[in-house]
Amino acid sequence: MSEAGSCGWQTSLVDVTVVINPAARNGAHTHAAVRAADRLRALGHTATLVSGGSAAESSELIRAAVGHADAVAVAGGDGIVNLALQELAGTGVPLGIIPAGTGNDLAAGLGIPTLEPEVAADVIAAGHASVLDLARLTRADGSTQLYATVLASGFDSYVNDRANRMRWPRGHQRYNIAILIEFLFLKGTPYTIEVDGQRVGGPFVMVSVGNGRTYGGGIPICPAADLRDGMLDVTVVRPSGRLRLLRLLPTLYRGTHVAYPEVETFRGRTVRLEATGLTAYADGDPIATLPVTVEAVPGAISVFAPVP
């Protein structure tokens, strides 16, 4: 593999380990993984399906695959992708994504279509691996975790909490409904934020730290974020009248919210968030209780993507 911004297979036949999301071993993720594996085999590659009974077992399977597979693919949403990031970052083993989850923001950001496993397999088989940045979060106890898309806190956290408790509907509509419900309880939260040492005081309604542009199934909360620029994008929303913020909500889906005076954006390589009683989410799952520090990790992982 080359050391440039993208790389490809050195041989025409490759060995791919396909890991199924343990949260739905008999559901859509399994069917997507089987279809993708069948497609890879039809194209002349070796594809081995594995599934752990838990997130920890899946992480072990991914770690084991690093020693013998040419690539690791995961079937599911951003949650299973996040498991793979922890094991593959820095190894040189490329990641393939077979998007079949509720949120598929990293796949969408790379142009990999959702619920089309054969197309995802074609992307892997084509062998164009793009080198992407990740974000490294450090908790108060010193433990760390990588993420690929967006860290959400404040109103975002409450929306994620509610969306994760909901069983219907699936996909981005679940987030839309959660947003509307949580809006009824909207309030500002005292924060202290530092972006490359620049201090920004609260209160804020929400604070998001993006390595990627979108979260929640395609909401471009950090519309200028770039997965390859070595920077983090921070979007903050200050309290305002409820009617004013209600008018702001639809603009979130277009990425035009950044034009409103209540919204501020910052860019930097290191971001520190401090607040009391808030859970931060990243790649769609709870990741830490604030305070946290987030750092950009340039060129951390290779991920198969369609050729630009």
Model confidence over 265-299: pLDDT tens digits? 999 999 999 999 899 999 989 999 999 999 999 99
Alpha-helical regions (H) of 184-231: none
**Same domain, yes or no: 152 and 118:** no
**Same domain, yes or no: 247 and 104:** no
Model confidence over 55-91: pLDDT tens digits? 899 999 999 999 889 999 999 989 899 999 999 999 9
Range of the domain at 38: 6-127
| Amino acid in the structure at residue 164 | N
Q: Which of 90-99, 180-189, 206-215 is least confident?
A: 180-189
pLDDT exceeds 60 at position 1: no
| Contact of 295 with 136, CB cutoff 8 Å | yes
Residue 285 a catalytic site member: yes
**Same domain, yes or no: 121 and 144:** no
Residue labelled with tokens 């089309």: 116
Q: Among residues 100, 127, 154, which one ends one of the domains? A: 127
132 in any annotated domain: no
**Same domain, yes or no: 121 and 180:** no
Q: What CA–CA distance (Å, rounded) separates 97 from 103?
A: 13
Q: Which of 151-155, 157-161, 221-225 is least confident?
A: 157-161
1 in any annotated domain: no
Q: Among residues 93, 127, 161, which one ends one of the domains? A: 127
**Same domain, yes or no: 109 and 146:** no
**Same domain, yes or no: 39 and 104:** yes
**Same domain, yes or no: 152 and 292:** yes
**Same domain, yes or no: 294 and 163:** yes
**Same domain, yes or no: 76 and 147:** no
Q: What CA–CA distance (Å, rounded) separates 294 from 271?
A: 5
Number of domains in the chain: 2
